[in-house]
Structure 1
Amino acid sequence: MATTVQTNLNGVNVDTLVQTIQAIQENPDLAKFTFRSQTKWINGGHSTTMIQSFHGAGAEDASRTRPFVIEGDEPPVLLGENYGPNAVESVLQALASCLAVGFIYNASAQGIKVDSLEFWLEGELDLHPFLGLSDKIRPGYNKVSVNYRIKTNAPREKVEALCDYVQATSPVMDILRNPVPVTVNMID
């Protein structure tokens, strides 16, 4: 009896994923990416960010014919108009999205079928530093909690190992857990 290999699992083309990994093993420079965004202030707490081009896999990417447009604002209690999530809420979204991709791509590579995956995140911060009322408190999140629910054919131990691996390899988790050099320059 012939065995059929499933090449699409969880919406991921596993053959292409394996080929991508092999290509990067052969040419490590293909793994280097530069992502970009451009933000324009509109009014009050409202801004608009456009994301379109990036450099990756050894070339400039032209697959996006139109930019992604992301509205950012504050809720009324923070003097905004709710045109979009605020920046710290966007950080939670970025982390959850990165973890979801990591779970699904790695589960697919391991042959794990995922029926559903959901994340709930909370971030705690104190506005004292942002408002200029304290320099003794960290201005960013002092704690982020992630809870997730996954329905899968894999045993719990395998899912927990997958979660550990995803956390260790998540770019956004790394950005949050480790200092990243950031330069800010005024341009003409």
Structure 2
Amino acid sequence: MEKIANKKNGIDVDQLLGTINAVKSDPEVADFRFKAKTEWLEGGHCRTTFLPFYGAKEEDSSRTNPIIMEGDEPPILLGENRGANAVEAVLHALGSCLSVGFIYNAAARNIEVESLSFDLQGDLDLHAFLGLSEKSRPGYEKIRVKYNVKANAPKKEIEELCAYVQKTSPVLDMLRNPMKVDVEMA
């Protein structure tokens, strides 16, 4: 007899729990290295190709087609809107990470999510980017996130889930805490 998948919110809960147990039994399974190559095309336009990554103690070969993200600037910043600009891509990364964390953890808690969305805004002062002032930072000064969720759980349980997701989100952690970034000529 074929086993029926235990799916919740589009997530195979048994596979999710299996992954958690695999990491518990062998911590090296949790070590991942993601890779990307960004090439400048013209003006503010660039293209990033996400390369195969290392994870679960091996090189991943599941991507048969490359994943590509275009980057550009809006016309007011001398671009042609051929893609999200880099700071917009940060909002995408944060929203995507929070969404995945929310849905996966809701599934693990047997919460059925009917709809979920994140509204994100980031405040940026161009003075530092343009080299006009050192009083502001070149990156976001503040990011605001509001989430809307419709689920079969009480508000308190959703709030606890959201707090847990914030605590475990890799992208939110990178934005809230400094990390080492090495930049060097190849």
* TM-score, scaled to structure 1: 0.96
**Structure 2 equivalent of residue 92 of structure 1:** 91
For residues 18-57 of structure 1, what are the structure 2 equivalents within 5 Å? 18-57=17-56
Amino acid at match of 2:96: S
Q: Is the 8 A contact 2:118 2:145 kept in 1?
A: yes
* Counterparts in 2 of 1:59 and 1:6: CA distance versus 1, 3 Å: closer
Q: Secondary structure at the match of 1:52?
A: strand
CA distance in 2, matches of 1:99, 1:163: 9
Amino acid at match of 2:110: G
Q: Is the 8 A contact 1:52 1:66 kept in 2?
A: no
Give 5+ residue unaligned stretches, structure 1: none
**Structure 1 equivalent of residue 152 of structure 2:** 153
For residues 155-174 of structure 1, what are the structure 2 equivalents within 5 Å? 155-174=154-173
CA deviation vs aligned residue, 1:149-170 (integer Å, no higher than 9, x gap): 0000000000000000000000
Residues 1:143 and 2:149 are matched in the alignment: no
Q: Secondary structure at the match of 1:53?
A: strand
| Structure 1 residue 65 displacement after superposition | 1.2
Q: Is the 8 A contact 2:37 2:51 kept in 1?
A: no
Q: Is the 8 A contact 2:35 2:52 kept in 1?
A: yes
CA distance in 2, matches of 1:45, 1:162: 39
Aligned CA RMSD, in angstroms, stands at: 1.0
| Structure 1 residue 6 displacement after superposition | 7.2
* TM-score, scaled to structure 2: 0.97
Q: Is the 8 A contact 2:5 2:14 kept in 1?
A: no
Q: Secondary structure at the match of 1:92?
A: helix
CA distance in 2, matches of 1:101, 1:129: 33
Count how many residue pairs are aligned between Structure 1 and Structure 2: 183
**Structure 1 equivalent of residue 101 of structure 2:** 102
**Structure 1 equivalent of residue 110 of structure 2:** 111
Equivalent pairs: percent with the same residue? 57
**Structure 2 equivalent of residue 184 of structure 1:** 183
| Structure 1 residue 52 displacement after superposition | 2.6
| Structure 1 residue 135 displacement after superposition | 1.2
Residues 1:65 and 2:64 are matched in the alignment: yes
**Structure 2 equivalent of residue 134 of structure 1:** 133
**Structure 1 equivalent of residue 119 of structure 2:** 120
CA deviation vs aligned residue, 1:50-76 (integer Å, no higher than 9, x gap): 003100000000110121111000000
CA distance in 2, matches of 1:64, 1:52: 9
Q: Is the 8 A contact 2:95 2:120 kept in 1?
A: yes
CA deviation vs aligned residue, 1:4-61 (integer Å, no higher than 9, x gap): x971000000000011111110000000100000000000000000003100000000
